[in-house]
Each structure stands twice: as C-alpha cells, then as structure tokens.
Amino acid sequence: MGSSASPSDVTISAKIVVAGGFGVGKTTLVGSVSEVPPLNTEAWMTEAGADIDEVPPNGSKTTTTVAMDFGRITLHDDLLLYLFGTPGQARFWFLWDDLSRGALGAIVLVDTSRIDQSFAAINYFENDSQLPFIVAVNQFEGQPEYDLDEVRAALALSPDIPLITCDARNRASAVATLRHLVSHTLSLAVLSGPELAMT
C-alpha cells in the first residue's frame, strides 16, 4: 500500500504578474528575488524607438523588455511563485492578457516621478482583468518620498486596493511585497468563497 503525501508535503505553485509603466523596475524586482537566473527579453534601445518609447528622465536606461521577464521564488516551504514581468511600452500591451492568464494576482509598480505611466496598468487590472492586485511605489534612490495618501489620491486608486512602498533592488523588500500580494489574494478568497480559490 503506497503512502500518500500529507497536506504539509504538497507544494502549491502560483503565477504572479509584475506590471507597470516603462522603466519602473519590473525587471529589477524579478531579478532581485529569483532563485534561478532570471529570464528576460531585454533588447537594446535604439534611435529608431526614440519617438515611440518614452525614455525615463535620468537617461540611464539602455535596454527594454520586449516580451516578458521570468523568475521563480519559493515564498514558503509549500508555495512556489513563478513571476512574469510585463513589458511597459504601449506597443507591447497586447501581451498583458496572455501573461495574466491563470495568474493568482499582480503587483503594479509605480514611479512617483512619472505617475502618469501607472494609469494604464492600474486601469487594466481594475477594469479589464479579474486579477486581484496591489500597487507598490518603487523607492528610487534620490527621489522624494510622498505620503501614501497623496499617492493614492494622485492615482485615483480605490480604497480597497492595497498601496505599499518597496525597493525593487532590495531582495527583502521585494519578497515582502510578494508576501503582501499573496496575503491580499488569500483574504479576498476567504471573503469571496471557493470561486476565487487557486486553480
């Protein structure tokens, strides 16, 4: 008679989407937490794209994600997360539906110096997608920090959407952001019943 695995021996895997505007830190966040060498589809930015892609104001970004970023992290002994970072430029937004399909939830990264770059991703997850999501303000070095109530007002973000800060470069901060998303998603599952359970 074969032995069956106890519930504590079962590992659940889930897909997480990391979204946001162009140059907001999605690739950095995925790379900072991934336990495997992260896969990314970075391409050099060229003069041909200068009139299409809005370059961040500091001018230090030389590559851009053209399909997705991918990483993996064991968040708990029994929870394995597969991270999919979306491309930020408008010309690649058509990929968002495919990358979001089957996901447990999403993190929308925000750069307060370019708040307008956040609206497309927030609108997508609020209106076009059924995914639970949180919004994380990426704390870039040398930028002023704003009160989260001010950021929420600027984003016109619903009160029931969690808004936190993070540093995408810092592993501990990025992991805490993932934990926050998982907790938020599980709390919605408890409130909504079995129809929101993981598939």
Q: Indicate the SS3 state at residue 188.
A: helix
Distance in angstroms (rounded) separating the CA atoms of residues 92 and 166:
25
Residue 197, judged by CB atoms within 10 A of its CB (0-12, 13-18, 19+), counts as: exposed
Report the pLDDT value the prediction gives residue 2, as an integer from 0 to 100.
52
Report the pLDDT value the prediction gives residue 166, as an integer from 0 to 100.
97
Report the pLDDT value the prediction gives residue 22, as an integer from 0 to 100.
84
**Average pLDDT score, the chain:** 82
pLDDT tens readout for residues 140-164: 887 888 999 999 999 999 999 999 9
pLDDT tens readout for residues 87-142: 866 555 667 788 899 999 999 999 999 999 899 999 999 988 889 999 999 998 87
Instruction: Please indicate whether residue 54 or residue 74 has the higher confidence score (pLDDT).
Output: 74
Q: What is the pTM of this model?
A: 0.79
Q: How confident is the model at residue 46 (pLDDT cuts 50, 70, 90)?
A: very low
Average pLDDT over residues 177-192: 90
Residue-wise burial string across 98-124, b where 16 or more C-beta atoms lie within 10 A, e elsewhere: ebbeebbbbbbbbbbeeeebbebbbeb
Report the pLDDT value the prediction gives residue 44, as an integer from 0 to 100.
44
Report the pLDDT value the prediction gives residue 49, as an integer from 0 to 100.
47
Report the pLDDT value the prediction gives residue 178, as an integer from 0 to 100.
98
Report the pLDDT value the prediction gives residue 61, as an integer from 0 to 100.
45
Report the pLDDT value the prediction gives residue 121, as an integer from 0 to 100.
92
Residue 29, judged by CB atoms within 10 A of its CB (0-12, 13-18, 19+), counts as: buried
pLDDT tens readout for residues 7-18: 556 889 999 999
In the chain, the N- to C-terminal Cα span, in Å, equals: 29
104 secondary structure, DSSP code: S
Residue-wise burial string across 172-196, b where 16 or more C-beta atoms lie within 10 A, e elsewhere: ebbbbbbebbbebbbeebeeeeeeb
Instruction: Please indicate whether residue 65 or residue 69 has the higher confidence score (pLDDT).
Output: 69
Instruction: Please indicate whether residue 114 or residue 50 has the higher confidence score (pLDDT).
Output: 114
CB 108, CB 126: distance < 8 Å = no
Provide the percentage of residues in the chain whose pLDDT is more than 90.
54
Domains delineated in the chain: 12-39+67-192 (3.40.50.300)
Report the pLDDT value the prediction gives residue 128, as an integer from 0 to 100.
83
